[in-house]
C-alpha cells in the first residue's frame, strides 16, 4: 500500500457499469488514496470481454488485476459443477450457483484476505440503490456508491463507454443485458436458453449434457422445470430485455 494510504478495491466485471465505476473512482480518489481495479477471470465468458478489459485499462490509465480462487485455477465454471471424481453433481439452486460462489465470491474473499482493502466499489447504478443498501446492511458496510452518488443509470454508463471510443463487449450486441458467461446456469427463461441455442449451440449442448448428468432442470416452461434437452426450440418466455442475470455480489435471475 502506498505510504499508508487507504486501499479502495474496484470490482470490475467486464461490464459498462463497472468500467465507469473504475474510471470515476480513479479520478476521484487518486492520488490521495490507493485504487486497485480487480477482475475475477472466468474462461466461459465471451472472449471479446478480454479485449474490452484491455480497452478499459487504457481508458482508466491503470492495469486491471486478476483475482482467481486458488482452488479452481482453471477459472472454468464446469469444474465447479463436478465432484472429486469429475462427475457433474450440482449446477444451480435457490441460493445461487457454485460457479458464482467459487469463481467470484470466494475468489474475491481470497483477494480481500490477502490485500485487506478498506473500501469496495461495485458497478451498482441508481436503479440498484435498494439492492446496494441491502448489501451494505447485511454483508459489507464499506462500499462506496460511486455510480449512485453520481446519479448514473446503466444506460448512462453505456453512453460514457461509447463516448470514450470504446466498443462495448460483443455479447451486448447480440441482445444480452450483461457480459456474464455464455449460457448462465442461473437463467431459467426459455427465451434465454433458446437464444443461447441459436447464438452458441456448442455451449447449449454442453449445458444440456451436464445438466442431464446431474439432474439439474435449468429451464422453466409454464411454471414447470424441465431439462434443457427437453426444451422446444420455439418456446418463449419473457423478453430478454426484461430480465437480468446477476453474477458476482448478487447471484440471481430477476426481472426489471
CB burial readout 213-225, b (16+ within 10 A) else e: eeebbbbbbeeee
pLDDT at 242: 47
Q: Would you list the DSSP string of 162-208?
A: HHTTPPPPHHHHTT-SS--BTT-TT---HHHHHHHHHH-HHHHHHHH
pLDDT at 245: 53
Which own/partner contact pairs does 156-160 have at CB distance under 8 Å and 24+ positions apart?
A: 156/20, 156/125, 157/16, 157/17, 157/19, 157/20, 157/123, 157/125, 158/16, 160/16, 160/20, 160/23
Separation of alpha carbons 150 and 45, rounded Å: 29
**Cell triple for 180:** 456474464
The residue length of the chain stands at 256
Q: What SS3 class is residue 102? A: helix
pLDDT at 139: 80
Show the domains of the chain with their CATH numbers.
Answer: 2-255 (3.40.50.620)
pLDDT at 114: 95
pLDDT at 248: 56
Question: For every one of its 256 residues, what pLDDT tens digit does the chain have, with 9 covering 90 and above?
Answer: 455 679 999 999 999 999 999 999 999 999 899 999 999 999 999 999 999 999 999 999 999 999 999 999 999 999 999 988 888 889 988 777 999 999 999 999 999 999 999 999 999 999 988 888 888 888 888 999 999 999 999 999 999 999 999 999 999 999 998 888 999 999 999 999 999 999 999 999 999 999 999 999 999 999 999 999 999 999 998 887 644 555 655 444 444 2
pLDDT at 178: 83
Number of helices and strands (H, E) in the chain? 11, 8
pLDDT at 251: 45
Model pTM above 0.75:
yes
Q: What SS3 class is residue 88? A: strand
Amino acid at each position: 500500500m502506498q505510504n499508508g494510504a487507504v486501499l479502495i478495491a474496484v470490482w470490475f466485471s467486464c461490464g459498462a457499469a463497472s468500467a465507469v465505476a473504475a474510471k470515476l473512482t480513479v479520478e476521484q480518489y487518486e492520488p490521495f488514496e490507493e485504487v486497485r481495479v480487480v477482475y475475477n477471470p472466468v474462461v466461459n465468458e465471451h472472449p471479446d470481454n478480454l479485449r474490452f478489459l484491455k480497452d478499459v485499462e487504457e481508458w482508466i490509465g491503470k492495469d486491471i488485476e486478476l483475482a482467481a480462487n486458488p482452488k479452481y485455477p482453471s477459472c472454468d465454471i464446469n469444474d465447479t459443477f463436478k465432484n472429486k471424481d469429475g462427475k457433474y453433481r450440482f449446477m444451480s439452486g435457490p441460493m445461487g450457483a457454485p460457479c458464482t460462489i467459487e469463481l467470484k465470491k470466494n475468489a474475491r474473499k481470497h483477494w480481500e484476505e490477502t490485500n485487506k482493502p478498506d473500501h469496495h466499489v461495485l458497478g451498482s447504478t441508481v436503479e440498484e440503490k435498494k439492492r446496494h443498501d441491502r448489501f451494505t446492511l447485511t454483508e459489507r458496510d464499506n462500499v462506496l456508491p460511486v455510480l449512485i452518488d453520481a446519479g448514473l443509470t446503466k444506460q448512462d454508463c453505456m453512453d460514457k463507454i461509447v463516448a470514450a471510443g470504446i466498443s462495448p463487449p460483443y455479447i451486448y450486441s447480440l441482445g444480452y443485458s450483461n457480459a456474464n458467461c455464455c449460457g448462465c446456469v442461473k437463467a431459467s427463461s426459455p427465451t434465454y436458453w433458446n437464444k443461447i441455442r441459436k447464438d452458441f449451440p456448442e455451449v447449449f449442448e454442453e449445458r444440456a449434457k451436464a445438466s442431464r448428468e446431474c439432474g439439474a432442470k435449468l429451464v422453466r416452461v409454464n411454471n414447470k422445470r424441465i431439462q434443457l434437452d427437453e426444451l422446444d426450440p420455439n418456446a418463449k418466455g419473457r423478453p430478454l430485455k426484461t430480465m437480468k442475470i446477476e453474477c458476482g455480489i448478487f447471484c440471481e435471475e430477476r426481472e426489471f
